[in-house]
């Protein structure tokens, strides 16, 4: 079997809502459901429950393995900070409706422990935290509930992160160091290692050049032995690279081909999960990449 770069020390299998996730066997697809009005990607579904449920079911039919539901945008330019109550008003109807229609694992995209707790009580199976579970209350919740967690790397907040991009010359080593620290903290807080997934945080406190460097060097994170989620879909660095030097970056909805290329590169570097807006298109991309890189019998 062909093996993606740096793919070693794997933790094996994780069962989420009865579904097996066997790391290294194939790449899993997480479909994004933005219950927002201000998403950078232009795919915010607002509060239209019928439209959101229809989108969720389309993603499932297309081949998504996980649905990621978020109510607060992380757009660095004009996102709106929400209270826990406001965020729950957005995501709870979706969680309840979608979990009643499908057994696909659902992820709650939040950094607020109070939101995560209620979401887990109403259909969510995974916590996806852009702040790397740095809130002690989130650590306690994850340990209590024994659910998988996705810990992302970022600095500051969506409003301040693009002013915090100095990594002393090596963004990959800085992110790796952060993950080592978080892994130690999380295991000391009684989280099971097999429940911990890392996300390098493309676009979060990263410059154009740093995003490209990170994408080309994802194999460095395999030494951790943890599954890796990559969220490059429609990100700004893709739009800029597609347009070429000195040109206006492609807008988010026009970044599908660039996203496909970035995802393929990520899979060659050992990505286990890819978080995407365009599920139908990226399922095909992932299947071809896996068939070539992993020689997966399942595909």
Q: In Å, what is the CA distance from 9 to each residue of 17, 28, 190, 221, 225?
A: 25, 19, 21, 11, 5
- At residue 283, the 3 state secondary structure works out as helix
Question: Virtual CA dihedral for 255, 220, 178, 14, nearest 10 degrees?
Answer: 80
Q: Which residue reads 């996980």 in tokens?
A: 66
pLDDT of residue 299: 41
Q: Any catalytic annotation for residue 235?
A: yes
Q: Any catalytic annotation for residue 26?
A: no
Count of CB atoms within 10 A of residue 248's CB? 9
- Enumerate residues 6+ apart whose C-beta is below 8 A from 216: 265, 269
Per the document, the length of the chain is 299
**Which one has a higher pLDDT value, 75 or 2?**
75
Q: Which residue reads 């826990």 in tokens?
A: 84
State the catalytic residue, choosing from 235, 240, 255, 294: 235
- pLDDT of 145-182, one tens digit each? 999 999 999 987 776 777 778 898 899 999 999 999 99
- pLDDT of 28-62, one tens digit each? 999 999 998 756 554 556 678 998 999 999 999 99
Q: Where are the domains of the chain?
A: 13-293
- pLDDT of 70-112, one tens digit each? 999 876 655 578 899 999 999 999 999 999 999 999 999 999 9
Pick the CATH number of 13-293 from 3.20.20.20, 3.40.50.1000, 3.90.180.10, 3.40.1830.10: 3.20.20.20
pLDDT band at 274 (very low <50, low <70, confident <90, very high): very high
State the catalytic residue, choosing from 117, 172, 182, 275: 275
pTM of the model: 0.92
């Amino acid at each position: 079997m062909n093996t993606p770069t740096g793919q070693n020390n794997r933790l094996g299998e994780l069962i989420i809502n009865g579904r097996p996730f066997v790391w290294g066997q194939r790449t899993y697809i997480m479909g994004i459901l933005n219950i927002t009005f201000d998403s950078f990607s232009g795919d915010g579904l607002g509060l239209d429950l019928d439209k959101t449920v229809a989108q969720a079911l389309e993603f499932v039919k297309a081949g998504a393995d996980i649905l990621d539901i978020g109510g607060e945008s992380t757009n660095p330019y004009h996102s709106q900070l929400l209270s826990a109550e406001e965020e729950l008003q957005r995501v709870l109807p979706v969680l309840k409706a979608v979990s009643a229609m499908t057994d696909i694992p659902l992820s709650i995209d939040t950094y607020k422990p109070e939101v995560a707790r209620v979401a887990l009580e109403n259909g969510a199976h995974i916590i996806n935290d852009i702040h790397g579970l740095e809130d002690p209350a989130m650590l306690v919740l994850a340990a209590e509930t024994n659910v998988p967690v996705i810990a992302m790397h970022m600095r500051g907040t969506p409003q301040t992160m693009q002013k915090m991009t100095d990594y002393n010359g090596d963004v990959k080593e800085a992110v790796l160091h952060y993950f080592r620290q978080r892994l130690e903290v999380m295991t000391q807080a009684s989280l099971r290692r097999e429940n911990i997934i890392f996300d390098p945080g493309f676009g979060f406190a990263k410059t154009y050049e740093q995003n490209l460097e990170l994408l080309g060097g994802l194999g460095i994170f395999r030494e951790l032995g943890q599954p890796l989620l990559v969220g490059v879909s429609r990100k700004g660095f893709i739009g800029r690279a597609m347009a070429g030097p000195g040109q206006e970056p492609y807008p988010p909805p026009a970044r599908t081909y660039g996203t496909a290329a970035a995802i393929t590169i990520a899979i060659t570097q050992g990505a286990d999960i890819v978080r995407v807006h365009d599920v139908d298109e990226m399922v095909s991309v992932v299947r071809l990449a896996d068939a070539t890189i992993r020689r997966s019998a399942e595909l």
